């Protein structure tokens, strides 16, 4: 739902795919479908691809016992190869913060651009968690107005300094 809201707010094309559709009867069909989805997204750029029921293809790496399991692993590798996880650039982060806080009662002192401009690499899920934590912190303090200190608490709680630099943040 968050992905669709962001797509509508940014006028990006929204492509919804069910993960189990990638698991096909014939060998190689799943990875071909993944390539087709990403080709469609490139043709309609900017685009957001939402993969529902991703657990149909997200299995543990070493659980591949059968040919079908290995095909699922090939589909996952194709998803990674298609750059599926190049997440949020500067403008996308701000839009995600704005969508997540649209119905929140923010203090005028809250500067969302401050959180966007920080060097930490954060995903849309982390942004949503930051906003939710900020709102919950204000509620715990019996306030209807969300202050900058609430966002700081949410930021510290949800943004960890990674030990490694993962490729999908680049």
SS (H, E, C) 142-154: CCCCECHHHHHHH
Higher pLDDT, 3 or 128: 128
CA 120 from centre of chain:
15
Model confidence at 54: pLDDT above 80 = no
List the domains of the chain with CATH numbers. Answer: 2-81 (3.40.50.300), 90-169 (1.10.8.60)
Instruction: Over range 48-59, report the average pLDDT.
Output: 69
Residues 65-88: tens digit of each pLDDT: 666 666 666 666 565 555 434 444
Residues 79-123: tens digit of each pLDDT: 555 543 444 455 678 888 888 898 899 999 999 999 888 888 787
The Cα–Cα gap between 85 and 78 comes to 12
Task: Name beta bridge partners: 165.
Answer: none
The Cα–Cα gap between 27 and 33 comes to 12
- Tell the burial category of 105 from Cβ atoms under 10 Å away from its Cβ (0-12, 13-18, 19+): exposed
The Cα–Cα gap between 18 and 39 comes to 17
| DSSP category for residue 59 | -
Closest to 102 (Cα-Cα) out of 170, 20, 9: 9
pTM for the complete prediction? 0.49
**What is the number of other CB atoms lying within 10 angstroms of the CB of residue 148?**
15
């Amino acid at each position: 739902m968050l992905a669709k809201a962001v797509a509508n707010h940014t006028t990006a094309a929204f492509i919804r795919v069910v993960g189990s559709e990638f698991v096909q009867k014939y060998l190689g069909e799943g990875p071909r479908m993944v390539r087709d989805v990403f080709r469609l997204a490139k043709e309609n750029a900017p685009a957001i691809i939402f993969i529902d029921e991703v657990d149909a293809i997200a299995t543990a790496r070493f659980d591949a016992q059968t040919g079908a399991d290995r095909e699922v692993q090939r589909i996952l590798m194709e998803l990674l190869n298609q750059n599926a996880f190049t997440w949020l650039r500067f403008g996308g982060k701000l839009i995600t913060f704005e969508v997540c806080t649209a119905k929140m009662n923010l203090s005028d002192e809250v500067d969302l651009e401050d959180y966007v401009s920080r060097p930490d690499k954060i995903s849309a899920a982390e942004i949503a968690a930051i906003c939710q934590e900020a709102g919950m912190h204000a509620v715990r303090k019996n306030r209807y107005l969300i202050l900058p200190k609430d966002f700081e608490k949410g930021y510290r709680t949800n943004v960890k300094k990674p030990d490694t630099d993962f490729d999908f943040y680049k």
